Homo-oligomer: A and B are copies of this chain.
Amino acid sequence: MISRYARKEAAAIWDAAMKYKIWFEIEAHAATKMAELGVIPTEAAETLWAKGKDAQFDADRIDEIERTVKHDVIAFLTHVSEIVGPEARFLHQGMTSSDVLDTCFAVQLQKSADLLIEDVDFVLAALKKRAMEHKLTPTVGRSHGIHAEPVTFGLKLAGYYAEFTRARKRLVVAREEISTCAISGAVGTFANVSPEVEAYVAEKMGLEIEPVSTQVIPRDRHAAFFAALGVVASSVERLATEIRHLQRTEVLEVEEFFSAGQKGSSAMPHKRNPVLTENLTGLARLVRSAVVPAMENVALWHERDISHSSVERGIAPDATIHLDFALRRLANVVDNLLIYPENMQKNIDRLGGLVHSQRVMLAMTQKGMSREDSYAAVQRNAMKVWRGEGNFLDFLAADEDVSKFFTRSQLEPFFNLDYHTKHVDTIFARVFG
C-alpha cells in the first residue's frame, strides 16, 4: 500500500486495531450463542462482552506473544485473557482460526465496499453537476482522435455518469459476493461447533452464512470482488484519459484545477500538467493488477491450502485503498474541472465546417443522388479543407455537383449545431431520470 495514495478512512479498515476489534466481535458473538446453546456458561459470555467491548487491544503486545506461540489467533486470545480474565478460555470453543480470519476478512472487504460505493456517489454527484452546467455546451465529438460531429460537453459527462452508475451496481454486487460468514470448523463439517453459532454471528456482523465452507470461504467470491474493482478502475482510467486528452496544449478544452502559486514543473515555469488524471491512470493499472492473482487464488487444493493468504495480504488493502483514493481524487478533479467553452467552439470551427460533412451527404442522397456519388462529392471538397485551402461551405457552394441541388443559402442550415443537440433531452432523461 502506497501511503500517499491512501485516505485514512480506507487504510484504517486494514489496521491492526480494526482487525482485532472485528476478531473480538466475532469471537464474542459466537460465545453469546454458545452460552445460549449451553456450551459455555452464560456469565462467561456476559463478562467477555462487558470487559472486552470497549477494550483497546494492544497490537504490539499481541506481536510479542505471537513471537512465542507462533500463531496469530492464539496470540490474540492470550492477549484477550490478559484483558478480560480467565473467562477468555471460553472463547473460540470448537472453532478454527480460519473461522475468525475469513469472517473478519469478509467484514473488512464489506467495509471497503461501503467506502467505494460512497466514493462512486461523489463521482456521480460531480459528474451530474457539471453535466447539467454544460448540457448544451457544444463541443466536437471525436472518433479515432479525429473530429467527427458535434456533441455537447454535458452529453460526454452524461455518458460517464451512466458508466459510473454501472460501476456502482457492480460494487453493490461485489459487496454481496464477499459478505459471508463461515464458522464451521477445521474442514467445514461443524463437527465441534453448531451451525447455529455461524447463523448468529453472521446476522450480528451483517453477513450471510456461507453455504459450504471448507475451513475457508471459497475464493471464487474474492476473485469476483477484485474483478469488479478492476472493471471500476478501468472506468476511472477512461475518464482520466478523456481529461488528459482535453487538456493537451493543442486542445485545451478543460484543465485540472490549478491553484495560484502552484508549480507545474520545476524546470519549465509555463507548464500546467494534468498530473492528477495521469496519476489516476497509473492507479487504475495498480488496482487492475489484483485481478489475475485473485483468480489464481481460486484453485486452492482440496479443503484449503494457504497460498491465497500472502496474495491477499497484498492485494486486499492495496486494491481497495488505492481505488478509494482514485475515486475520491476523480470526484475532485471533475468537481473542480476548469471548462473552456470558447476553446471547444474554436476547435469545432477548426475544420472549417467539415464536421457537417455527413449531413450534407445525406441531404444530397435525399435529393436522389446515389450514396457513392454524394460521398465522392463531399469528400473531394472536404479534402481541400483538410489541406487548409479554405472553407467547406464555400467549396460546396462552388461545386458543380452540389450546386445542382443546393444554393449556398440552402446549404447554410446544414451547418447548424442545433441539429445535433435535438435529442440531448432524451438522453439526459435516460441517464438522470
Contacts and interface: CB of A to CB of B under 8 A. Distances in A.
Question: Copy number of this protein in the oligomer?
Answer: 4
Contacts of A424: 189
Interface stretch (A29-37, A50-58, A289-297, A404-412): A289-297
Contacts of A70: 262-263
A378 interface: yes
Contact of A301 (B240, B245, B279, B419): B245
B212 A144 contact: no
A288 interface: yes
A371 interface: yes
Interface in A213-253: 214-215, 218, 220-221, 223-224, 227-228, 230-231, 233-235, 237-238, 240-242, 244-245, 247-251
Contacts of A308: 282
Contact of A231 (B209, B220, B362): B220
B301 A241 contact: yes
B267 A358 contact: yes
A104 interface: no
Given A159-B212, A237-B299, A270-B385, A221 B166 contact: yes
A357 B270 contact: yes
Contacts of A272: 146, 386
A46 to B, nearest CB: 21
A130 interface: no
A302 B149 contact: no
Contacts of A185: 149, 267
Contacts of A421: 189
A288 B282 contact: no
A153 to B, nearest CB: 12
A241 B214 CA distance: 16
A271 interface: yes
A145 B274 contact: yes
Contact of A247 (B5, B146, B274, B310): B146
A181 interface: no
Contacts of A286: 293, 310-311, 314-315
A190 interface: yes
A167 interface: yes
Nearest to A140: B249
Nearest to A247: B145
A149 B191 contact: yes
A89 to B, nearest CB: 7
A423 interface: yes
Contact of A250 (B177, B192, B220, B350): B350
Interface in A338-366: 347, 350-351, 354-355, 357-359, 361-362
A212 B158 contact: yes
Contacts of A270: 147, 351, 354-355, 357, 378-379, 382-383, 385-386, 392
Given A270-B379, A310-B283, A299 B244 contact: no
A303 interface: yes
A59 interface: no
Interface stretch (A18-26, A108-116, A118-126, A425-433): A425-433
A206 interface: no
B267 A235 contact: no
A298 B186 contact: no
Contacts of A427: 188-190, 211-212
B278 A289 contact: no
10 contacts: A70-B263, A145-B247, A149-B185, A186-B265, A227-B291, A268-B358, A282-B309, A282-B310, A282-B311, A291-B295
Given A74-B266, A224-B228, A282-B297, 5 more contacts: A5-B310, A141-B215, A270-B392, A282-B308, A289-B293
